[in-house]
Amino acid sequence: MVKKGIILAGGTATRLFPLTATTSKQLLPVYDRQMIFYPLNTLIKAGIRDILVIVSPEHSGQFLNLLGSIFKSYGVHLYFEVQKVPRGLAEAFILGENFIDNNSVALILGDNIFEDDFAKAVKSFKSGGQIFAKKVADPERLGVVKFDSQKRAVQIVEKPKEWISDYAVPGFYIYDKNVVAIAKKIKPSDRGEIEITAVNNEYLKNGKLKVGLIKGEWLDAGTFDSLLEAGYIVKTKKLYKNFHPLVDKAIADFNEELKGICKKKLF
């Protein structure tokens, strides 16, 4: 059972300039709520109640204003860590070392929206690593996993220059406590980043990586087009109805509180 979750919501999101010149990408709306609530919902639905949100320094106050107390009455504990300079996805485990504290941990990217429910994978997890794969039309943009004839993962490559598979690795990962030590040993790539693919390959090399398949929608809302598409799909497929009642209630109560504060300011 995984009890700790991390949401990586830092970065500069240059692909969404000028929208992100004044706020974080993860605070932009996707249909009827801010993007950050989708990864939060994924973790909460999976049974995780201790969540670390990694944010950029320039937007840390905005995250606190929105999330600082929103779940305080619902048994969900949010913590915040500032990532001064983005150095790759796997840096989340180094920044979150004290938070992880010898526990298994699930990492989700703050701009990834999933239709699938990961509760079974999270609750049954025991050791090693667990990642997921989704068949996509443009795998070359992402980390890609290659399977053998028995559907076993044999290779994972970050943004391959040559085709190896149509299966990309989405931004939801589960690891045991050893992930911190593994992340610390990884040498930065040519991009200067501590790559999550290197973490996955370390577990794969040791025969400790499990790869599951995602069947539902996976939305990466990191560009103008994908952000617009995400809102459209959330509405048309009614993904907004997939939220845990706890999350919906917390948002509704927060909205009512804000309305009350605004009325007091007006009068």
CA distance 106 to 115: 17
Among 232, 130, 129, 216, which Cα is nearest to 178's?
129
Token pair listed for 128: 């090693």
CA distance 128 to 200: 10
Is the pTM value of this prediction over 0.85?
Answer: yes
Q: Give ∠ CA 47-109-161 in degrees, rounded to 5.
A: 135
Helix axes 245-266 and 37-45, enclosed angle (nearest 10):
140
Helix ranges restricted to H, the chain:
37-45, 60-67, 91-95, 97-100, 119-124, 179-185, 196-205, 224-236, 245-266
CA distances from 155 to 92, 164, 169, 170, 224 (A): 23, 9, 12, 16, 31
CA 49, distance to chain mean position in Å, is 15
Looking at the chain, the whole-number percentage of residues with pLDDT higher than 70 is 98
Q: DSSP secondary-structure letter at 250?
A: H
Averaged pLDDT, 64-89: 95
Chain position carrying tokens 């009827």: 32
Mean pLDDT for all residues in the chain? 94
Of residues 125 and 192, which shows the higher confidence score?
125
Res 262 pLDDT > 80:
no
Per-residue confidence at 267, pLDDT binned at 50, 70, 90?
low
Averaged pLDDT, 212-231: 94
As a residue count, the chain comes to 267
What is the domain partition of the chain in residue ranges? 4-127+170-266
Res 146 pLDDT > 80:
yes
Res 222 pLDDT > 90:
no
pLDDT of residue 230: 96
CA distance 4 to 211: 20
Token pair listed for 216: 């539902």
Which CATH number applies to 4-127+170-266? Answer: 3.90.550.10
pLDDT, tens only, 21-54? 999 999 999 999 999 999 999 999 999 999 999 9
